[in-house]
């Protein structure tokens, strides 16, 4: 047998999917996450799924992983041991930053700046200067570089980001600074901006480089730890098991490469979920979907069109802007472990703080003392008194006591308080879904919602009503879809080069040379990953804007030599995309010129993807019934319970009902219908 394993580490559970490439058999499982040592939960998941298959570790041919190590470090603000080196005279680039009003004009009296990622007393400058055309106007000061390296060494500052002005055009000064650090401070972890992000906008490039330096030690330690543990699975003397890590851009990267590009993993888990949802939605015939990945700590949402999740280079992780290519994900603190609390004004709030896996919701009886969304679902009967098929028992009485005590502060019954908790959680998710649609000029009513994750489908019916959706698609094994998504993606490396030029002055041969340089770098990375030339493909894009605009629109650049005709075709594509995004273009205005800004190449190496198989025809939902229990839907109702695994294609269930499976539960409210499609997905709609 040839087994590939996908593992997604979440805040509460670690999700595992194994696929046999020879038979197509797919096995899923979950195990509690171990926040203090995520590698423990990772390996527990590997051993658990192998035991379910009755196989030994030497039959594993590859492991793909979605990790939150980098994300958590940034969200928790754990970037204390960090220094910054920049061009002399530009030591205040982090103070200048960008202006923003995060709470909106109506709620904020001041223009605020984001918090510094590096304190001012940890910033050092070195003489040397390039112009915006890449011309050296001041030589690099080697002696000052040595003094700077020794300064950081003497103070024990071991993670250092280097960002010199205009180094995206010429990296020689940054490489010289890195060499000085390697000689004078050999224990330091160093990131240089020309390696991390060869793109203009000094503030964003500086912060992106510093984020890379901040997470590099943790990622290196974590990946090497898992790699060594995976090595123990294989036969003695056998080659190491290929180990891939999910990137934020929708591709995977070998563990050997990812330690040099740690920032590319900052949205590792959410990216895998979006890609898994894209595969499922496309097979089910839904071209335009929004995804809702609900976990124990948060909910991640994104837009998928024609099987391709939306990408952005204007994302943030916590308080830090990050210009690396990433799937356009909005995250809200609305997971199963989100804590319910009373604000100083006396109103009910839910999240963003989460009980996570430790101590967890009160009903886990593992030390949690605050009521959570999971406790509310349990009190109302929306979920069974256990998780993972009985592996995690839940205490209804403890959940009820916590919710009722919270309700007393608001003069509410336990049922009313629990309903309020779920209503607020649903609106938190709905607002996140509006951010990726309505705020981007999209009508969410034209999309189907795909819900997954352990808690993602619990509020599906309510979201249909709040957002005016046509329906919701719930995949098979929704709690493990992110782990499944890890097995559906290719190896992908992205390279960028800023080259600001007006279209009328564009030198096609120079653009071609730059594309060839980027393609060569991508090709070398794929060669290191073991892909033969016949399996390597390259995608070219360019960022264009109208002269005078501050931001760009990305368009595809077709294959072939760059000619004036091809450049004109790219310009036409830009006009069309600008009109699609903003409702207007200046195609016919000769006074408004187009400007090329960034050139990009993505190198792609294909990985075999598991095939989705059709399920057997159903023989009637009644045969899947397992009993009934009282569930609260505005009132207590005797509600039938179904084992989803026993449902077949064409089976139909009318609410009220509860559909249970190993990794998730779907409460079907009165007035809703769930129908099983050919691939076992549930399609939920308002009843006619």
67 is a domain residue: no
Determine the pLDDT at residue 433. Answer: 94
137 is a domain residue: yes
Determine the pLDDT at residue 49. Answer: 92
**Beta carbons within 8 Å of 296's beta carbon, 6+ residues apart:** 10, 11, 12, 13, 335, 336, 337, 354, 356, 357, 374, 454, 455
| Run of H or E including 405 | helix 396-408
Task: Count how many domains the chain has.
Answer: 4
Cα–Cα distance, 78 to 220 (Å, whole number): 16
- Residue 598 sits in the same domain as residue 546: yes
pLDDT at 440 over 70: yes
- Residue 83 sits in the same domain as residue 211: yes
pLDDT at 43 over 80: yes
45 is a domain residue: no
Determine the pLDDT at residue 107. Answer: 46
CB atoms under 10 Å from CB of 330, counted, come to: 19
In this structure, the chain runs to a length of 688
Helices (H), 198-305: 202-231, 255-258, 268-283
pLDDT at 10 over 80: no
**Beta carbons within 8 Å of 431's beta carbon, 6+ residues apart:** 332
CB atoms under 10 Å from CB of 323, counted, come to: 22
Per-residue pLDDT tens over the stretch 321-342 = 788 888 888 888 788 889 999 9
Give yes or no for a contact between 549 and 500, defined as CB atoms under 8 angstroms apart: no
Q: Residue 472 gets which letter from DSSP?
A: E
Determine the pLDDT at residue 111. Answer: 54
- Residue 209 sits in the same domain as residue 94: yes
328 is a domain residue: no
User: H helices then E strands: how many in the chain?
Assistant: 16, 37
Q: Among 166-170, 263-267, 285-289, 446-450, which is the least confidently predicted range?
A: 263-267
Interstrand relation of 26-32 and 13-20 (parallel, antiparallel or unpaired)? antiparallel
Determine the pLDDT at residue 633. Answer: 96
DSSP reduced 3-state for 682: strand
Helices (H), 413-533: 414-435, 460-467, 481-485, 508-528
475 is a domain residue: no
How much of the chain, in percent, has pLDDT values that exceed 90?
61
- Residue 583 sits in the same domain as residue 631: no
Cα–Cα distance, 94 to 161 (Å, whole number): 13
Mean predicted confidence (pLDDT) in 446-469? 94
Per-residue pLDDT tens over the stretch 385-394 = 998 777 889 9
Which residue, chain included where needed, has tokens 């794929």?
526
Q: How confident is the model at residue 104 (pLDDT cuts 50, 70, 90)?
A: very low
Residue that is last in its domain, among 408, 424, 440: 424
Cα–Cα distance, 420 to 415 (Å, whole number): 9
Give yes or no for a contact between 307 and 612, defined as CB atoms under 8 angstroms apart: no
Determine the pLDDT at residue 531. Answer: 92
- Residue 106 sits in the same domain as residue 208: yes
CB atoms under 10 Å from CB of 342, counted, come to: 12
pTM value?
0.83
Cα–Cα distance, 650 to 631 (Å, whole number): 26
Residue that is last in its domain, among 380, 408, 424: 424
- Residue 79 sits in the same domain as residue 209: yes
Dihedral of the alpha carbons of 477, 478, 482, 488, in degrees to the nearest 10: 60
Q: Which residues sit opposite 479 in a β-bridge?
A: none
Show the beta-strand stretches assigned E in 362-425: 386-387, 392-393
Give yes or no for a contact between 415 and 632, defined as CB atoms under 8 angstroms apart: yes
- Residue 110 sits in the same domain as residue 179: yes
CB atoms under 10 Å from CB of 56, counted, come to: 12
Q: Among 168-182, 344-358, 364-378, which is the least confidently predicted range?
A: 344-358
- Residue 410 sits in the same domain as residue 523: no
pLDDT at 110 over 60: no
447 is a domain residue: no
- Residue 534 sits in the same domain as residue 641: no
Sign of the torsion angle spanned by Cα atoms 252, 253, 254, 255: negative
Residue 551, preceding peptide bond in cis (omega within 30° of 0): no
- Residue 523 sits in the same domain as residue 587: yes
Cα–Cα distance, 598 to 514 (Å, whole number): 10
Cα–Cα distance, 326 to 312 (Å, whole number): 6
Q: Order of strands across the sheet with 665-668?
A: 625-632, 636-643, 657-660, 665-668
98 is a domain residue: yes
Cα–Cα distance, 666 to 662 (Å, whole number): 11
Whose CA is closest to 318, among 138, 588, 57, 78?
A: 78
Dihedral of the alpha carbons of 251, 255, 261, 267, in degrees to the nearest 10: 50
Letter string b/e over residues 454-477, b meaning 16 or more CB atoms within 10 A of that residue's CB: bbbbbbbbbbbebbebebbbbbbb
- Residue 638 sits in the same domain as residue 596: no
38 is a domain residue: no
How much of the chain, in percent, has pLDDT values that exceed 70?
96
What CATH number did the domain enclosing 566 receive?
3.30.1490
- Residue 139 sits in the same domain as residue 172: yes
Range of the domain at 85: 74-218
| Residue 679: CA count within 13 A, CB half-sphere | 19
| Run of H or E including 541 | strand 537-546
């Amino acid at each position: 047998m040839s087994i590939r394993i996908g593992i997604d580490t979440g805040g509460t559970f670690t999700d595992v999917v194994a696929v046999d490439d020879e038979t197509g058999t797919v096995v899923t499982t979950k195990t509690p996450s171990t926040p203090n040592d995520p590698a423990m939960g990772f390996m527990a998941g590997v051993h658990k799924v192998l035991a379910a298959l009755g196989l030994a570790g030497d039959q594993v041919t590859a492991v793909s992983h979605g990790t939150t190590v980098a994300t958590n470090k940034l969200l928790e603000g754990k970037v204390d041991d960090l220094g910054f080196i920049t061009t002399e005279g530009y030591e205040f680039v982090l103070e200048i930053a960008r202006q923003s009003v995060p709470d909106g004009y109506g709620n904020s009296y001041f223009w605020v700046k984001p918090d510094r990622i590096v304190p001012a007393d940890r910033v050092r400058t070195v003489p040397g200067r390039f112009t915006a055309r890449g011309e050296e106007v001041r030589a690099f000061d080697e002696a000052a570089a040595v003094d700077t390296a020794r300064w950081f060494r003497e103070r024990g500052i071991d993670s250092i980001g280097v960002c010199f002005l205009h180094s995206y055009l010429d990296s020689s000064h940054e490489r010289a600074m890195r060499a000085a650090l390697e000689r004078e401070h050999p224990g330091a972890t160093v990131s240089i901006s020309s390696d991390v992000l060869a793109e203009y906008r000094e503030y964003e490039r500086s912060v992106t480089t510093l984020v890379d330096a901040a997470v590099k030690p943790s990622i290196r330690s974590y990946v090497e730890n898992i790699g060594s543990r995976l090595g123990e699975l294989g036969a003695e003397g056998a080659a190491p098991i290929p180990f891939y890590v999910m990137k934020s851009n929708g591709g995977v990267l070998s563990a050997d490469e990812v330690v040099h590009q740690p920032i590319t993993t900052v949205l590792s888990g959410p990216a895998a979920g979006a890609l898994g949802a894209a595969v499922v939605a496309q097979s089910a015939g839904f071209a335009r979907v929004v995804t809702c990945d609900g976990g124990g700590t948060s909910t991640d949402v994104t837009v998928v069109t024609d099987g391709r999740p939306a990408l952005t280079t204007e994302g943030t992780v916590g308080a830090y802007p990050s210009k690396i290519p990433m799937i356009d994900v909005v995250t809200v603190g609305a997971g199963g472990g989100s804590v319910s609390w009373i604000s100083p004004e006396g109103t009910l709030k839910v999240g963003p703080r989460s009980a996570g896996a430790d101590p967890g919701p009160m009903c886990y009886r593992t030390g949690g003392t605050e009521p959570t969304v999971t406790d509310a679902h349990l009190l109302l009967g929306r979920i069974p008194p256990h998780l993972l098929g009985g592996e995690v028992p839940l205490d209804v009485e403890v959940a009820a006591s916590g919710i009722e005590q919270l309700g007393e502060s608001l003069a509410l019954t336990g049922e009313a308080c629990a309903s309020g908790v779920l209503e607020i959680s649903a609106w938190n998710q709905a607002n996140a879904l509006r951010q990726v649609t309505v705020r981007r000029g999209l009508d969410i009513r034209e999309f189907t919602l795909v819900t997954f994750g352990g808690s993602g489908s619990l509020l599906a019916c309510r979201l249909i009503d709040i957002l005016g959706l046509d329906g919701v698609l719930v995949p098979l094994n929704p709690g493990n879809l992110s782990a499944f998504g890890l097995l559906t993606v290719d190896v992908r490396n992205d390279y960028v080069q800023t080259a600001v030029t007006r279209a009328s002055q564009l030198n096609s041969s120079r653009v071609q040379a730059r594309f060839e340089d980027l393609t060569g770098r991508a090709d070398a990375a794929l060669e290191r990953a073991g892909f033969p030339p016949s399996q390597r493909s390259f995608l070219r894009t360019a960022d264009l804007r109208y002269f005078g605009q501050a931001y760009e629109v990305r368009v595809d650049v077709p294959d072939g030599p760059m000619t004036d005709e091809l450049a004109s075709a790219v310009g036409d594509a830009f006009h069309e995309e600008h009109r699609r995004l903003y409702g207007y273009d200046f195609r016919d205005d000769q006074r408004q010129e187009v400007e090329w800004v960034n050139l990009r190449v993505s190198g792609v190496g294909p990985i075999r993807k598991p095939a989705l198989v059709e399920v057997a025809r159903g023989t009637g939902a009644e045969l899947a019934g397992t009993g009934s229990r009282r569930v609260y839907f505005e009132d207590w109702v005797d509600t039938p319970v179904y084992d989803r695994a026993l449902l077949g294609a064409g089976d139909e269930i009318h609410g009220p009902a509860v559909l249970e499976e190993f990794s998730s539960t779907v409460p079907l409210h009165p007035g809703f219908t769930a129908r099983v499609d050919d691939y076992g997905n549930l399609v939920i709609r308002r009843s006619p």
